[in-house]
Structure 1
Amino acid sequence: MTVFTWKKRILTAFACLLTLSLLYPAANHKAQAFTESDADAAMTALVNVFYDPAAKYFYVNSDHQIHPEHAHGPDGGLYTDFWWEAQLWETVMDAYERTGSPAYRTMIDDVYAGFNAKYPDMMANPFNDDLGWWALACLRAYELTGTTEYLNRGTFLFNEIYAEWDTSYGGGIWWRSDAHTPGQANAQKNMATNAPMIMTAVKLRDAYNDLAYLTKATQIYNWTKSTLVNGSKINDHIEGAGSGIIKDWDFTYNYGTFLGAAVSLYEATGTASYLTDANSAAEYVVNKMVSAQTIMYEGENDAAGFKMIFLRNLNRLREKGGQAQYLSFLQQNATQAWNHRRTSDNIIGSDWLRPTGSGYVQSLAAAAGVSILQLVPADGYSGYIAGNGAYEAENARRTLIGGGGMINESTNAGFTGRGYVGGWNTDGTSIDFYVNQNTAGTRTVTFRYAAAAGNASRYVKVNGVVVASNLVFGSTSGWSSYGTVTVAVPLNAGSNTIRLGFDSSLGSSNYLNVDLLSGL
């Protein structure tokens, strides 16, 4: 993608498990069900709020204003940039594939025309991942419509991108066409460029019945797996002089593209090892990059669309790989997205664990929620989603001071999930767990933590109200030694915020490490 708007987050010394058990239940409060009509409403809202029918193009923001944090597309950033528009085009295709609506069939052609009007020379873009998303989307559009133009454009783009393969780092396609020297600024080979090209190559094999494309797909896959995959861990890219340095950034986007590539090759060959690889990538995210089984918030801008890539390909794994075990996870996430929409306009925000706010929403974030509603069979469930109650601290939202005050880390043993939050001893910092409950009532919250520097204390707020002003976390024998502390909290049916915070005026003190909230 053109602009990287995220940073690697490192977890240091705070491990907290929050175990919630029901002390007494209250009446169940119903929420909107996830139904076919909800999927219709979500797509209608996306089009009404973000689509400009005159330009045949999607706006970046719901307020149709230019905001500096993502002003990279046409008209000074009024409209979406390369890879965002490709994803929104895929969302239109998701809706067409579900409904067969003539309106969405027309939109497929219109969005393509609008994009070409804004970008008459696609090859002026040096980012091969951007071009690759259009290649993949064009081939999908060809499969859905039979329009030869989409096949021709997808073929052209694939060939141009594949020409960026060389033997540096043992193979792989370069991220940028203007950076091919190991150690040069912006010179890297990443999952974002290579994995989508595997999916595209398999589609080209199918379109032309040409095994040369399958050979290329296998070549790219073998390099990608051997270079950027370490067990179940999918790394981001390789860069640097000589043999290169692996960057192990954890994004659902990378797991999604790799598992999608594996599914494509499984479909093409029937080779069971590809299915094994796809399940390994899927299970890492399903087990470790979630909060109570809802896919985690990764940020705004580009990061808000990462879960769209993962969930679209997870659904392909379910359908094409016959992996029905993911259906409940997919349906639960679709329901969470819809339940947390902004009811005034049915727009879904970037964090599916809490209600969408009143401010402007970015189109890529909104499209992620819309797509899962198109892709996943409606289950008609009417209610809130409490999930499995496991809220990993490293996946929670943090309030930092001056960009710091706590970090994510996996250095000390004994944590659950991917790590823990640590380095935490700064006034004004906090961790927010967005907790959803089926029923109102009081629960007992258990924090699992490490406090090797001595007794520590923090305040606990629930929905903005202090329930414990100076909760003491007793000293543990080391940073790999964990203790627990409990507190009773009142929770509403639906969405709640449990904040664990540092405020010296309330007695907060010392370093602490936090890991997980569970049992809800």
Structure 2
Amino acid sequence: MVGAVAGCLVLMLGAAPVSAAHGGEARSRAAAAVTAMMGWYDTDSGRWDRDAPWWQSGNALQSLLDYVAATGDRRYLSVAAHTIDVQRAPLPWWPEGGGDFRADSTDDTGWWALALVRMYDLTGDQRYLDIAAEDEDYMGRYWDPVCGGGLWWDIPTQTYKNAISTELYIELAAALHNRIPGDRAHLARAMRAWRWFAASGMIGPGSLVNDGLTSGCANNGGTTWTYNQGVVLGGLAELYRATGDRTLLAQARRIADAVVSGPELTHDGVLTEPCEPAGSCNADQAAFKGVFARNLATLDRVLPGRPYRGFLAVQADRAYADDRDSTGRYGVRWCGPYDGASIGSQESAVALLTATL
């Protein structure tokens, strides 16, 4: 029996509980979701759904490569290489970047660069790490003293400093440091960015991250999207690996706990994007929860006792039971009902299911 609460289907008393998948079952669920995701892949353009926002192909690439890393299933590694080879060309809408994923918004560059770091991890091919470092340098050019620091999100107009661009920069710079022997420069930039971010006011009093800053450099009260909570967790986990500073983990846990235990983003135990109750999530927002799941898993792996593993398993079980069609496609609302899929919702599901492996 089911009932609707705050727009989310809730298992009622007497209903059969959903049991957590383990081992081979969890892997088969992830594999089926990846197979379905590949149905959106367009070989000619090297993108997943060429009509979807460009950054989502970078995020889909990350989801695919995380799956490869978790399972050893390398069937699609050649697709990943093809995607990078095609998409590294100068962008038709922003040729000024010169290619190699240097886009007109710093966050778009960050998504692709993090995927390249994962590609380096899987292949050992130095050129992928070199491009990621080139991208970090490009993003860093748009750090300036306005508001005391931070990256501009919109390169052509430079009117908005937001959370996601600086969060991606922190994670990318720290990840590069952790992979480049003897590096100091990337770590210094990552730490500078984190210190600025922590003092910027974007982390609200309830430990949730708002979208960005006003022109007067104050928290703009923008939506606390799930991906803004997630990427900072990945960045703090990378910084912890670099420094051993456990205060970074304490801050990460405050943010993570505000999501998984607070009422704003978790309804009846299921992660819920703020746009879901109204059914108004757009193409970008459909991908956000998977970004959170990926980064929560990254944090969880460096914490004693794996405190968030159970939460991730619940999300995966609910999505599998209630938000999936017979072909393995997933929708936006993990608590259901399934009402169609997009590449954004599918790459999000792949990230979630991979996070439980």
- The answer as to whether partners of 2:148 and 2:196 remain within 8 angstroms in 1 is yes
Q: 2:72 is matched with which residue: 90, 100, 109?
A: 100
Q: 1:367 is matched with which residue: 342, 347, 357?
A: 347
Q: 1:313 is matched with which residue: 288, 295, 300?
A: 295
**1:287 Cα deviation from its structure 2 partner:** 1.4
- The answer as to whether partners of 2:143 and 2:152 remain within 8 angstroms in 1 is yes
Q: Given the superposition, is the C-alpha separation of residues 32 and 252 from structure 1 closer, same or farther in structure 2, using an over 3 Å criterion?
A: closer
TM-score, with normalisation over the residues of structure 1?
0.59
1:237 and 2:212 matched: yes
Q: Equivalent residue for 1:110?
A: 82
Q: Equivalent residue for 2:137?
A: 159
Aligned residues: 331
Q: Equivalent residue for 1:205?
A: 177
- The answer as to whether partners of 1:256 and 1:311 remain within 8 angstroms in 2 is yes
Q: 1:296 is matched with which residue: 272, 275, 294?
A: 272
- The answer as to whether partners of 2:323 and 2:335 remain within 8 angstroms in 1 is no
**1:80 Cα deviation from its structure 2 partner:** 3.1
Q: How far apart are the structure 2 equivalents of 1:42 and 1:347?
A: 6
Q: 1:246 is matched with which residue: 195, 199, 220?
A: 220
Q: How far apart are the structure 2 equivalents of 1:312 and 1:269?
A: 22
Q: How far apart are the structure 2 equivalents of 1:176 and 1:340?
A: 38
Q: How far apart are the structure 2 equivalents of 1:261 and 1:122?
A: 28
The amino acid that maps onto 2:116 is: C
TM-score, with normalisation over the residues of structure 2?
0.85
Aligned-CA RMSD value: 2.6
- The answer as to whether partners of 1:46 and 1:347 remain within 8 angstroms in 2 is yes
Q: Given the superposition, is the C-alpha separation of residues 169 and 50 from structure 1 closer, same or farther in structure 2, using an over 3 Å criterion?
A: same
Q: How far apart are the structure 1 equivalents of 2:96 and 2:318?
A: 37
Q: How far apart are the structure 2 equivalents of 1:92 and 1:197?
A: 21
The amino acid that maps onto 1:292 is: D
**1:244 Cα deviation from its structure 2 partner:** 4.7
Q: Given the superposition, is the C-alpha separation of residues 291 and 247 from structure 1 closer, same or farther in structure 2, using an over 3 Å criterion?
A: closer
Identity percentage of aligned residues: 28
Q: How far apart are the structure 1 equivalents of 2:37 and 2:325?
A: 13
Q: How far apart are the structure 2 equivalents of 1:160 and 1:21?
A: 51
**1:13-46 superposed Cα distances (whole Å, 9 cap, x missing partner):** xx9xxx9984xx47x4878955322221111121
Q: Which runs of 5+ in 2 are unaligned?
A: 1-5, 276-280
Q: Equivalent residue for 1:42?
A: 33
**1:385-424 superposed Cα distances (whole Å, 9 cap, x missing partner):** xxxxxxxxxxxxxxxxxxxxxxxxxxxxxxxxxxxxxxxx
- The answer as to whether partners of 2:53 and 2:283 remain within 8 angstroms in 1 is no
1:348 and 2:330 matched: yes
Give the match's secondary structure for 1:177.
coil
Q: How far apart are the structure 1 equivalents of 2:96 and 2:269?
A: 39
**1:274 Cα deviation from its structure 2 partner:** 0.3
**1:323 Cα deviation from its structure 2 partner:** 5.0
Q: Equivalent residue for 1:80?
A: 52
Q: 1:271 is matched with which residue: 239, 242, 245?
A: 245
Higher strand share: 1
Q: How far apart are the structure 2 equivalents of 1:258 and 1:87?
A: 16
The amino acid that maps onto 1:150 is: Y
Larger of the two Rg values belongs to structure: 1
Q: Given the superposition, is the C-alpha separation of residues 58 and 117 from structure 1 closer, same or farther in structure 2, using an over 3 Å criterion?
A: farther
Q: How far apart are the structure 2 equivalents of 1:335 and 1:118?
A: 41
**1:57 Cα deviation from its structure 2 partner:** 2.1
- The answer as to whether partners of 1:340 and 1:348 remain within 8 angstroms in 2 is no
Q: Equivalent residue for 1:489?
A: none
Higher helix share: 2
Q: Equivalent residue for 2:127?
A: 149
- The answer as to whether partners of 2:64 and 2:350 remain within 8 angstroms in 1 is no
Give the match's secondary structure for 1:188.
coil
- The answer as to whether partners of 1:300 and 1:365 remain within 8 angstroms in 2 is no
Give the match's secondary structure for 1:236.
coil
- The answer as to whether partners of 1:136 and 1:197 remain within 8 angstroms in 2 is no
